[in-house]
Structure 1
Amino acid sequence: MRKLATILSLVLAIDALACRFNVRDVGFVDLGSDPYRLYIFVPENTPRANLEIIQSTAYATYLESNIKFEIQTPSKAADGEAKAFLPKEVAEPIGVFVSGDGKRSVPVKLTKKGQPLAVSIWDGLESVIDSPRRNAVLAKVYEHYGVILVVEGKNAAENDRIKKQAARVVATITARMDRLEKEIKEAPVVEVIAGKDFAAEKTFLWSLGVDAIAETPQVVVLYGRGRQMGPVLRDERLDEHSLTAIVNTIGLNCECGLDRKWMQGTMIPQSWDEDVRKHFADHLGFDPESPAIRVEMSQILAKGGKGQGANRNAQIGGTLDELLMGYREGALKIAEATPTNAAPKKTVSAPAPEKKASPSPPVVESKTGYSIVGWMIMAGVPILIGGAIILLLGRRSNS
């Protein structure tokens, strides 16, 4: 009987602590993301010395990253998965960088006229995980609640409007951070990729789904270990309601009823070495590489279904429309965000169809439920009472 009481108390204690992670925390843990692949295609007659240079350089560059590389000749590639990405002509080493789902690719230049291969191969391979603006943005993502990344378009007026909109969203979320169930110290920030920097950041932006400079800005929300939260916002989908809803999601607890896609968004190509891991084990209060943490988070996410606490009635799908629908009044508490001033439109002869009001975005989840201490007290009292009853019954049976 004593063993049964002990087991029961442990189960209840673990259940009381089930909400100790937020979506940002989950974003730091890799629960099985598909790695990027870099196919390095070389001519059939490539000297062995050059192959060794490519092999050793690629190994050192991607050893502690989410990138797997393969060196392929055209004849070898023709019989495998690399066939779909094989260039028409391979006169010199060339890379093709492929997304984790295998649906998108981008070329990577590995040679440069007048440079020895040993030099150009380093520059080419590192360009996938190292560029000035990317490094600055990723540093902010790691340390802050999240980053609203604005990729400027050709329209200067729209660039200014969207940057102001992003700043308002940051102010809205920051004002509510004191009500998070788990504290996040650093507020979200806005980062900008200017048009002049686009070429240098091509691979970074490609990994986010931004392939070219558009007429108007494109916005991506990043969190956790450089993960993308939701889709690229552009054109009619880029409004203050949608942006606030997405950014707000980062602060929710991990049992808020969200589809797993929102908590394990696509990760950008990056290195994650031992020093970085140790830093974030201290920063987060848990080791994101710990097998026990991975198991715990996997079990929480596997539960699925409706959320708990303030979100106990919410069950939110994996698309932006489902996220916005999930935050309608009656499902969760809703923030009254300042409406975005729409861009001026040309007058047309036909009357414009009446638009439905956009669902208002949520506030950052407030502490409407019991705290962890409260849950432990609630769980502990019945355990103590039950233990006392078991003890009394045991004494009677012995007497």
Structure 2
Amino acid sequence: MHPEFYLFFSKIVRATVFSMCVASVLLGHLAHACKYSVRDVAFVDLTQESYAFLTISSGSDLDAIKARIQPVATAVFLDSNIRTGWLSSEDAVNHPGFQSNQGRSLFTGAFLYRDGLKPLPLMIPDEVNDVDTNRSWSRMERAVHSPIRQQAVEHLLSAYAVILVVETKDVQENARVRLAAQSAAATLAKMIPEMPKPVDVPPQVVVVPYDMIQAEEAMLWGLEMTHLNPDKPQVAVLIGRG
């Protein structure tokens, strides 16, 4: 995995100029060709946002859990921008990500967290207490590796952009949005000769099938897309290096 992309947990999404072009094509209102790529304009925030893998348990168990999980987390998150953190259940209710839980049962488990996003559960209490290192590794790895994410990142290393389509149960609506995304990619590909800098690989369309949403939930969560039974297809534009 190429570290520059930070496994989709950084703001490489929706560069203003390109996104406006793609949105126009998808909506059928393209009036002018956008000749500039992310390399030509200064509309991208390249600051790296920090994400946390927070493990929460009762204070009496936390030291033992940390001793078991920390080495695994260090290895799994080595090339990502995810740091590890530890909270007692009692202290978690004062954490900004968990304050909405005050007055209810205490949080226990392991979560992905970033300011402004609802924490994403990765491990339930029984999994946090699991002494099997291989199972813990597999559960943590869901935060940084998944099949569609790998496919998209491989395209991003060489393509101008990726148009990511997330499907729903509605087969007809999925087909309509896929066709619109493919049409947008084809239209933008025709603009490539007009661009001031060479582009070797045109925009690529990557689809997250409905039955793969759970496997891709960390990617979708990091992109601020709905990962819990979305009722309509979603589209995101990811800017590549091409």
TM over 0.5, shorter chain: yes
Instruction: Look up the SS of the partner of 1:45 in the other structure.
Output: helix
- The aligned counterpart of 1:107 is 121
Q: CA deviation digits over 1:335-388, x for unaligned, max 9?
A: xxxxxxxxxxxxxxxxxxxxxxxxxxxxxxxxxxxxxxxxxxxxxxxxxxxxxx
1:210 to 226, 234, 237: 226
1:34 to 49, 52, 66: 49
1:187 to 199, 202, 216: 202
Shift in alpha-carbon separation, 1:129–1:55, aligned structure 2, 3 A: same
Deviation at 1:113, TM superposition (A): 10
- The aligned counterpart of 1:136 is 151
Alpha-carbon distance between aligned partners in 2 of 1:72 and 1:117, rounded to the nearest angstrom: 21
Shift in alpha-carbon separation, 1:25–1:133, aligned structure 2, 3 A: farther
Q: Which amino acid is 1:109 matched to?
A: M
Alpha-carbon distance between aligned partners in 2 of 1:69 and 1:85, rounded to the nearest angstrom: 22
Shift in alpha-carbon separation, 1:81–1:219, aligned structure 2, 3 A: closer
Instruction: Look up the SS of the partner of 1:148 in the other structure.
Output: strand
Alpha-carbon distance between aligned partners in 2 of 1:77 and 1:114, rounded to the nearest angstrom: 18
Alpha-carbon distance between aligned partners in 1 of 2:65 and 2:72, rounded to the nearest angstrom: 11
Alpha-carbon distance between aligned partners in 2 of 1:113 and 1:95, rounded to the nearest angstrom: 7
Aligned partners of 2:112 and 2:122 also within 8 Å:
yes
Instruction: Look up the SS of the partner of 1:199 in the other structure.
Output: coil
Q: Which amino acid is 1:104 matched to?
A: K
- The aligned counterpart of 2:73 is 58
Alpha-carbon distance between aligned partners in 1 of 2:78 and 2:128, rounded to the nearest angstrom: 28
- The aligned counterpart of 1:71 is 86
Aligned partners of 2:163 and 2:238 also within 8 Å:
yes
- The aligned counterpart of 1:88 is 105
> What are structure 2's unaligned runs of at least 5 residues?
1-35
Deviation at 1:63, TM superposition (A): 2.7
Alpha-carbon distance between aligned partners in 1 of 2:222 and 2:235, rounded to the nearest angstrom: 13
CA RMSD of superposed structures (Å): 3.0
Larger RCO (CA within 8 A; separation ≥ 6):
2
- State the TM-score, normalized to the length of structure 1: 0.45
Relative to total residues, which structure has the larger strand share, 1 or 2? Answer: 2
Instruction: Look up the SS of the partner of 1:23 in the other structure.
Output: coil
Does 2:214 correspond to 1:199? Answer: yes
Larger Rg, first or second structure (1 or 2)? 1
Alpha-carbon distance between aligned partners in 2 of 1:70 and 1:25, rounded to the nearest angstrom: 38
Aligned partners of 2:110 and 2:128 also within 8 Å:
no
Alpha-carbon distance between aligned partners in 1 of 2:57 and 2:130, rounded to the nearest angstrom: 17
Aligned partners of 1:152 and 1:218 also within 8 Å:
yes
Aligned length: 202
Aligned partners of 1:44 and 1:73 also within 8 Å:
yes
Deviation at 1:90, TM superposition (A): 4.7
Alpha-carbon distance between aligned partners in 1 of 2:88 and 2:172, rounded to the nearest angstrom: 49
Aligned partners of 1:142 and 1:223 also within 8 Å:
no
Alpha-carbon distance between aligned partners in 1 of 2:226 and 2:123, rounded to the nearest angstrom: 19
Alpha-carbon distance between aligned partners in 1 of 2:127 and 2:90, rounded to the nearest angstrom: 25
Shift in alpha-carbon separation, 1:113–1:23, aligned structure 2, 3 A: closer
> What are structure 1's unaligned runs of at least 5 residues?
1-20, 226-283, 285-399
- The aligned counterpart of 1:288 is none
Q: CA deviation digits over 1:316-340, x for unaligned, max 9?
A: xxxxxxxxxxxxxxxxxxxxxxxxx
1:116 to 131, 134, 139: 131
Q: Once the two structures are aligned, what percentage of the paired residues are identical?
A: 28
- The aligned counterpart of 1:154 is 169
1:97 to 101, 106, 112: 112
Shift in alpha-carbon separation, 1:219–1:90, aligned structure 2, 3 A: closer
Alpha-carbon distance between aligned partners in 1 of 2:153 and 2:207, rounded to the nearest angstrom: 12
Aligned partners of 2:97 and 2:113 also within 8 Å:
no
Aligned counterparts, 1:211-290, within 5 A = 211-224=227-240
Alpha-carbon distance between aligned partners in 2 of 1:49 and 1:214, rounded to the nearest angstrom: 38
Deviation at 1:104, TM superposition (A): 2.8
- The aligned counterpart of 2:7 is none
